[in-house]
A and B are shown apart, each in its own frame.
Chain A
């Protein structure tokens, strides 16, 4: 099958890439663009390790075709920190020890970012429901939820 030419925006930069039709967005990011932050966990939409933001909504990039990224605006974990430092969520994850093995962390950070983008002041319950599609087998979730709530406070204070 012929490769498809895809023009897309990833972390603010216009990008062109050739993809096989059957290549997922996750494979396109990892194998084509060397953006290996998004992880492959279950590869069927259960675990959320591959979460990216696509046109303002979190998606499981394993369930999106690379070809579907045409004209999309995508944010991956690589787009979270700036040259000035970590994103407040990343800082809060560190300070709350909200990660152990780390494989779920990029997905959690991206999902958390999209939560705080749309709801800067979430309740604990809202955080837990929003993150229900991200699985972590190490932390027991409490530290992650606390980190997100801390980051929300921090960002509200404008720090």
Chain B
């Protein structure tokens, strides 16, 4: 690895000022499971590594009915899936954080890092998008919020300006009768990158007969994680017993812009988008029915 300066600030203000001073040359370090790999491979040349794990705000997990869920950007996957409250209320998030890498990766890798790394295949990102999560960002010019579906701008690129830090993620408390699910296709059972991943969330009406709203997001079929608003809209107001799930799957396929690569051909990926969208919706609806 190329030499760099390492600092570990203890407060948010110190972290922002270190990131600001470093400018384009600085990167925030949380779990390091993407950043260190990229720095070692020379794909990411960093002069200043700012370890933000000492900042209280990046380590928080807080959950209440009123404010929903807040997860600090450095919180590693295992803390999320071991949290009983999150498991009960945010199953669609636990789906993805428990399949990112293996146990050793989950001990370090953070959900915030998964979002900042902005890989089209990022499993955690799809869960954030379907749950309507918002990224809480602070920088030298103050705080702002970015919808997670707008956060990734290109492969490996995100909406943060130099000097800005993703501090935490806010996930709204699900409405009653809501359910969500994320699943992916990989050739083995674990430890692989999604050939295609699909996240789906639904809110059902009080009778649990029809869909009030739905969100669908796709992994590995576009240069960024892909929020498919049209697929969710196709489900709005339809009965769960109808063929609307099939229609939503077609909208998802129409939105997908996959490429051929070593993990699969574009055609194969389109097929998978259809299959996985239906499966993700089926489980999301079941979870909503069981609320």
Number of residues from B at the complex interface, CB < 8 A = 31
CA distance A115 to B104 in the complex (A): 11
- Please name all residues of chain A whose beta carbon is closer than 8 Å to the beta carbon of B49 when the two chains form the complex: 21, 65
Shortest CB-to-CB span from A126 to chain B, Å, is 11
Q: Could you list which residues of chain B lie within 8 angstroms of chain A, going by C-beta atoms?
A: 1-6, 8, 29, 31-33, 36-37, 39-41, 49, 51, 53, 76, 78, 101-105, 107-108, 189-191
Please tell me the size bucket of the interface on A: 20 to 34
- Please name all residues of chain A whose beta carbon is closer than 8 Å to the beta carbon of B8 when the two chains form the complex: 67, 70
| Interchain CB contact under 8 A, B102 and A132 | yes
- Please name all residues of chain B whose beta carbon is closer than 8 Å to the beta carbon of A63 when the two chains form the complex: 31-33, 36-37, 105, 108
Q: Could you list which residues of chain A lie within 8 angstroms of chain B, going by C-beta atoms?
A: 1, 4, 20-22, 24, 43-46, 48, 51, 54, 57-60, 62-65, 67-68, 70, 111, 114-115, 129-134
28 interchain pairs, CB-CB under 8 A: A1-B4, A4-B6, A21-B6, A22-B39, A24-B1, A43-B40, A44-B37, A45-B104, A54-B107, A57-B108, A59-B104, A59-B107, A62-B36, A63-B105, A63-B108, A65-B6, A67-B51, A68-B32, A68-B53, A111-B103, A114-B103, A129-B189, A131-B103, A132-B191, A133-B101, A133-B103, A133-B104, A133-B105
**Which residue of chain B has its CB nearest to the CB of A2?**
B5
Report whether over half of chain A's contact residues are helix, strand or loop; otherwise say mixed. Answer: mixed
The A-B contact count (CB < 8 A) is: 92
- Please name all residues of chain A whose beta carbon is closer than 8 Å to the beta carbon of B189 when the two chains form the complex: 129, 132
CA distance A62 to B40 in the complex (A): 10
CA distance A62 to B17 in the complex (A): 29
| Interchain CB contact under 8 A, B190 and A129 | yes
- Please name all residues of chain B whose beta carbon is closer than 8 Å to the beta carbon of A60 when the two chains form the complex: 33, 104-105, 108
Q: Which of A1, A65, A68, A130 interacts with B103 by CB under 8 Å?
A: A130
**Which residue of chain B has its CB nearest to the CB of A54?**
B107
| Interchain CB contact under 8 A, A133 and B32 | no
| Interchain CB contact under 8 A, A68 and B104 | no
CA distance A114 to B6 in the complex (A): 29
Beyond A24-B1, A67-B8, A111-B103, list 12 extra A-B contacts (CB 8 Å): A21-B3, A44-B41, A45-B37, A57-B103, A60-B108, A63-B31, A63-B105, A64-B36, A129-B189, A132-B189, A133-B101, A134-B104
